[in-house]
Structure 1
């Protein structure tokens, strides 16, 4: 996209838990008593469709018995073993059928269609989730341990069940619990479609690992500067590049993520030339040899009212929007037909149209609607290239315009356009209406040039696409912080402080769709109010609160650098963390100046002067050269923090 010019049933489940509890071996007195953990519903992200809590819990223990039903994928079992080991399990014994040992937790894993799984869940009265990618988890205290059943409707669902189990075992005890879950939208993930420095293959691999943890299932490879996908799209990839892509495809497969290969032929394609259609087919055939079965043709950011070849003039008439829509549809229809004929495993072709934003009726959209094969998936960015909000009526209008439900290309948190200069976009994913799952085929987020910081917003995108009606933006943001911090509470708090300084979400216009630093602004506004109209006690309290806030800003960068699980987050956010620390020190001096002024101390002016010097240094910190499309000064809570530091000397007469 160009961003430079314009800048059920709960009763049955509860009954099932009660049946199992009634038929288990009587636990010891120490384990029979209800505990605090058993009365608390765990938080799982994305939010499951249904969770039913029982009254007891148990510790996982140092040894477990693992029973895998026939047909369970080896990769899913490997992941489960890794999760158990990370949770402190020292001994994992495999068995074909569960034993009768009351002192060892038994984990049964497999497809819901497997007789063992079906029988176990049936005995407990647990209803199986039978949606695509759905899963069911039943956790039942039994004796001095427990029984855990992880059942997937399909292989993807079972993998998702294991990812949910990963979150559950982070608790000290597992509660009696039944989870039924499945995604609201069939397509969920990211499209690497930004301008500027692309991700490295290592960053892409990490991103695929991350997508698995949030139950995303799609990654579109569409870097703008891959010459063999855009300017030189007719040419074959060098062997070394194809080998690197093959490794990436394997990583995606291991993570149950659909790797979609995108080509952008628009700047030079001749729509009516069979040779160009064959060139596309050859390109896709080469990718098919490394395991790609999903393809994408990008026709965004091109001149579509002028033909690239005289042949198209003959075939489609005078150039123009309507003729372009017909020409594009004819080429895409041929590609779609060829994919089906040559690859039974192929998924529907995806395309992004030249008119990819808004849903106003136009000759171009009408031509696509009437001519394009209904199997082809169409992407749409919302009411604008960077929309401030997306509603159900917006999506319905797009469905009408394109003749099918669209796949949302959400340009958040992408930071490759001028209004994002100096920013990381770390506000929660918000202002997308609950219920959009009924009007969209899915959501793909266009992330930032910085892969690790992108995970904050993408966690929200994936959670919304999984369960839009159960999505909570703020709670999901907190989850993203905990995940980045690996459970380190100090680092997670520091990350949330940092996120607040990067809360601004710009549009192409002058008004952002998410405001800057709302938490910090509330604190600073309260200080202003207390100084202006509060009594002496209120003023002292407000200045003390300001000092605490300044310390938090100053200390957060070091806590983040020491606490994040993936060091690449701190590396990619380095100038922002450096600037934040300087701003924190400037605010510390500002607080000291206000305290001195309140006490009539003549040192106040020196504190304010030193604060201004540090603020100037902070404002001069530059982004990493070449890391984003537009280099420039780093923004930290701009319009909030800088304004307060500037105004502070005038709040109390010196």
Structure 2
């Protein structure tokens, strides 16, 4: 027995050592897993081993590196728990702490660091290489092809630095489309300057590079376009342009002269040039002329009739080309290195051959970028053949103006559009110069869709709509799992994506619909245990649904999301309570209790209250009742009393509300 006791003790000691080892696997022995990064990089090659950043690193900054990019790296390291950040100009031969090397590829220190990781510099514009090597305490190199590429590398580093250990890897990455971002081109209340600032900061995190200022309700950009901006407004636009530069986003100023311009009048060309000169003086270097949503078969002045003949679509194409060519020539003279003028034509959707498109194709300066919204104003899908047809129609690859998630048309009344960015064909980068999303009047709730647009524009062939959608929720939630789950529950209630027609291009509440259909099936076909499980699952789902709004209000990293979504969150909470009461009613009915009637009646009352909540007055172009999983949730709450019959003898039982 004594010997057996010794053997047992030895085994216990050995087992304890083994278990301790399982809990403390050496960093070098742990498997290296492929990190989930958004947008998806062009290539990731995993090595073996990890680098533990610890609490102290050396930041090796190459000469000429943008100080604001360096400051961003410092902020990321601090957020990752680094307490001591020393600065160096040369790479240590054997680092005693992790060395973070930062710079563009034309500097000696970056070339040295890449060589130590057996990596090469990405050769494309806006491209970058991230290479890590486990030599000494470790080297992580952020090497940009150019300053923009280095900034994008830092955004990828931000995601990697949040991991427990930094994997040994080489990332080579660059964008598939040259232009990626948003156009504030909706009708209704424009964004505030504060929202625009937040939006520009957000665009940087998803590697977007373009923001077009084109709110339809800015009078100095449309109805009063010839007039100079008030000094205060001009100063605010200059501040935005500075914010954009800091975020490596091209701030593009758009003017919409179409309702009143006289195309053949040199004075109007000069008025456009004066407008652009004033913006150039405050730091704006890219410009845009919008000719959408105008009457183009009617001249605004007699002079145009003399210059171009009777009004017609073809004559409008000729006249517009003449005006735009003159503006492009003026821009090139004043700034030979400036980006090309962008324009949106009057016929901005479909790719059908027309006299207008033919005239524009024939006469428009080939340098000018043309926007196109796809096969319709709000297209349900866009394919490579669609884009090829547009290339042919306009005589150049187009810049896609994607009217998603914009909610300024009647079919979107009462809706936030929070479904994933989907049904755009992989490979479109071969036929487009870029892609700009037209977001909602609500800036922060626009981010889930815009995150998808930016990720698709960066790497359309590797784009995963669902995973990118989940990533956007995590970003809004600041990485908090509970808040992320609540956001995804909320997103599902706003999943419908309408078109100008009767059929939406994305269905409403697919997750909730599947869950409620499963309950119906279990009640109709299941045995007693199946019914009980279904009702229990429904109760848990209803509880999560009802509590999600408070979690979102308390947990999102971007407070503007909860503020701008306020009536939707209020309505969701009431609908959640109605669903809780519905689940209680089904449970009572399943037990043969007459309490079911009271539960169902209370659910109906709460559902009516929820359906009466309206949008924030003036926030969107069309005010109206809030929609929450409409056609799915409301139908289930209404149908629930008919799903299980309760015997007449049980009708008198008392109940309490939840």
- Interval containing the TM-score (normalised by the shorter chain): over 0.9
1:566 match? 558
Q: 8 Å contact 2:183–2:439 — kept in the other structure?
A: yes
Question: Following TM superposition, by how much is the alpha carbon of 1:89 offset from its aligned partner in structure 2, in angstroms?
Answer: 1.1
After TM superposition, give the deviation of residue 161 of structure 1 in Å: 0.2
After TM superposition, give the deviation of residue 172 of structure 1 in Å. Answer: 1.2
Which residue in the other structure is 1:80 paired with?
Answer: 73
Aligned partner of 2:623 in structure 1 is 631
111-120 vs 231-240, which moves further: 111-120
- Which residues in structure 2 correspond to 1:305-454 (within 5 Å)? 305-454=297-446
| Deviation digits for residues 503-530 of structure 1 (CA, Å, limit 9, x no counterpart) | 0000011100000000000000000000
Does 2:116 align with 1:131? Answer: no
CA 1:112/1:325 → structure 2, altered by over 3 Å: closer, same or farther? same
Q: Deviations over 1:98-130 (max 9, x none)?
A: 224544110111101212212321243213211
Contact persistence 2:358–2:393 (CA under 8 A):
yes
- Equivalent position of 1:117 in the other structure: 110
Q: Report the counterpart of residue 480 of structure 1 in structure 2.
A: 472
Contact 2:186-2:439 at 8 Å conserved across structures: yes
Matched, 1:212 2:180: no
Task: For 2:557 and 2:512, locate their aligned partners in 1 and report how far apart those are by CA, in whole Å.
Answer: 26
CA positional deviation for 1:59: 2.0
What are the within-5 Å matches in structure 2 for residues 518-557 of structure 1?
518-557=510-549
Match of 1:593 among 578, 585, 593: 585
**Aligned-pair Cα RMSD in Å:** 1.3
Alignment partner of 1:50 is 2:43: yes
The residue aligned with 2:4 is none
Structure 1 residue 96, shift from structure 2 partner: 1.2
Equivalent position of 1:9 in the other structure: none
* TM-score normalised by length of structure 2: 0.94
In 1, Cα distance between equivalents of 2:140 and 2:95: 13
Number of equivalenced pairs: 625
Q: Which residue of 2 aligns with 1:187?
A: 179
1:226 matched to 2:218: yes
Deviation of the 1:345 alpha carbon = 3.1
Runs of 5+ unmatched residues, structure 2: 1-21, 647-658
Which stretch shows the higher mean deviation, 235-244 or 487-496?
A: 235-244
**CA separation of 1:558/1:132 partners in 2, compared to 1, >3 Å: closer, same or farther?**
same
Q: Secondary structure of the residue that 2:171 maps to in structure 1?
A: strand
Residue equivalent to 1:63 = 56
The answer as to whether partners of 1:37 and 1:173 remain within 8 angstroms in 2 is no
SS of 1:388's equivalent in the other structure is coil
Q: 1 or 2 for the larger relative contact order (CA 8 Å, sep ≥6)?
A: 1
Is this contact kept in 1: 2:567–2:613, CA < 8 A?
yes
Larger radius of gyration: 2
Matched, 1:166 2:163: no
Bigger shift: 483-492 or 235-244?
235-244
Report the 3-state secondary structure (helix = DSSP H, G, I; strand = E; otherwise coil) of the residue aligned with 2:445: helix
Greater alpha carbon shift after TM alignment, 516-525 vs 50-59: 50-59
**1:242 and 2:227 matched:** no
SS of the aligned residue for 2:138 comes to strand
Which is worse superposed, 78-87 or 358-367?
78-87
After superposition, the Cα gap between the structure-2 partners of 1:201 and 1:36, relative to the gap in structure 1 and judged at 3 Å, is farther
8 Å contact from structure 1 (residues 443, 465) kept in 2 = yes
Q: Distance in 2 between matches of 1:546 and 1:32?
A: 41
Correspondence 1:153 to 2:145? yes
Structure 1 stretches lacking a partner, 5+ long: 1-28
CA deviation after TM superposition for structure 1 residue 254, in Å:
0.1
- Larger displacement relative to structure 2 (30-39 or 530-539): 30-39
Displacement of 1:430 in angstroms is 0.1
Confirm or deny: 8 A CA contact 2:51 2:98 kept in the other structure.
Answer: no
Work out the CA distance in 1 between the residues paired with 2:419 and 2:56: 41
* TM score, norm. by length of structure 1: 0.94
For the 8 Å contact 1:265–1:297, the answer to whether it is kept is: yes
Find the counterpart in structure 2 of residue 278 from structure 1. 270
1:98 aligns with 2:91: yes
> Is contact 1:58–1:146 with CA below 8 Å preserved after alignment?
yes
**Secondary structure, in 3 states, of the residue corresponding to 2:49?**
strand
- The answer for the alignment partner of 2:5 in structure 1 is none
CA distance in 1, matches of 2:301, 2:592: 79
Q: Which runs of 4+ in 1 moved over 2 A?
A: 29-39, 99-103, 122-125
- Counterpart CA distance in 2 for 1:314 and 1:544 is 77
Contact 1:52 1:178 in 2 (8 A): yes
Shift of 1:33: 3.2
Match of 1:578 in 2: 570
Tell which deviates more after alignment, 91-100 or 368-377: 91-100
CA contact 1:293–1:345 (8 Å) conserved in 2: no
C-alpha distance after superposition, 1:439-469 (max 9, x if no partner): 0000000000000000110000000000000
Quote the Cα distance in structure 2 between the aligned partners of 1:539 and 1:87. 48
Tell me if the contact between 1:38 and 1:175 (Cα under 8 Å) persists in the aligned partners.
Answer: no
**Alignment check: 8 A CA contact 2:113 2:139 kept:** no
